[in-house]
Amino acid sequence: MKDTRQTNNAINAKEIFELLRDDLSAIEREFGRDTVSNVGAITEIGEYLRGGGGKRIRPALLLLSSKLFNYSGRSVIRLGAVVEIIHTATLVHDDIIDEAQTRRGRASANTQWGNSKCVLAGDWLYMQSFKIAVQERNFRVLDSLIDLTQAMVEGELLQMEKLGKMISADDHFDLIHRKTAYLFSVCMRMGAIVSGASEDEEEKLASYGRNVGLAFQIVDDVLDLTATADVLGKPVGSDLREGKVTLAVIHALERCSKGERAMIETVLRERAFRSVTLDQVLDILARYGSVDYATARASEYAQAARDNLAGFPDSEIKRALLWVPEFVVEREK
């Protein structure tokens, strides 16, 4: 069964790429033009980050949302670049805060240009994204982007406050909603806004984006524990090493013995796998089925996303949107 599903995924992925290829290429060109400044360092950093690639899943969602209503105007190209620039700016600031050395298998921008230049480059990217968005002359789009950036900054600050601390599942979901899922939701919402969708359609698509985003982040956090460094493009167990408690760890902490809890607390306190190894932590998680639990929760959000599409008529675009949650849960990096 698994082999069949993977074959279907590959076919679906190819079909979706064909559906979006021209528009994604246009967004990539727009992204390249929009990150050029008369200050050389900004252009260099912007080009380096763009060259790092990524899945471009956020602009793809925006495109699919608009195509669900047969929209094909220029707005989605501009806004696709906007959401990717915002996402890129977030990654720059995240790497500085986390003191990351690598990103997607390459040296992180802050190790190349230093924190000071990268903070300012990230700020410039945020402002540039709004400069482009203003061209839409659409207050609902701007309101969505303002709410988004505030939520993302609040999420980053909340995460900093909770580093190294035991947090509840509710706190964790609030964090990943702000830091990840909100952007997915706004991509779907903006696609609906520019397409003239009804309020009900817009809310269903925004909810779809939120559910896909939550599934995406949960899987990301699981992969941080279970994938290899080569696949991740960064060291395995980075979250725990940075003091971040994710869903699988929260699940285990709610069930483990005092001794096991003390081992996990040691990693969070030392910010390293020194006194306690990653394998020892993984043994604890395996004992309580915590990784399986987190993966199951991701699958629940993926199904919730598919359910959000129930009221939309069948189409090639709807089938693509129905496949996206499966891709998010099944991916390996």
Q: What is the mean pLDDT of each run of 10 residues along the chain (333 residues)?
A: 40 74 94 92 88 83 97 94 93 84 82 91 94 95 96 93 92 96 98 97 98 97 90 85 95 97 95 95 98 98 98 94 94 77
pLDDT tens digits along 155-208: 999 999 999 888 999 999 999 999 999 999 999 999 999 999 999 999 999 999
Asked whether the whole model's pTM tops 0.85, one would answer: yes
pLDDT tens digits along 288-298: 999 999 999 99
The SS3 assignment for 108 reads: coil
DSSP class per residue in 257-320: -HHHHHHHHHHHHHTSSSSS-HHHHHHHHHHTTHHHHHHHHHHHHHHHHHHHTTTSPP-HHHHH
Q: In angstroms, what CA-CA distances link 162 with 148, 173, 260? A: 21, 13, 20
The answer to whether 9 touches 330, Cβ cutoff 8 Å, is yes
CATH number, domain of 214, equals 1.10.600.10
φ, ψ at 102 (rounded to 5°): -135, 155
What residue type is 152 in one-letter code? M
For residue 238, the enclosing domain spans: 2-330
How many separate domains does the chain show?
A: 1
Q: Measured between alpha carbons, how far is 255 from 284 in angstroms, rounded to an integer?
A: 10
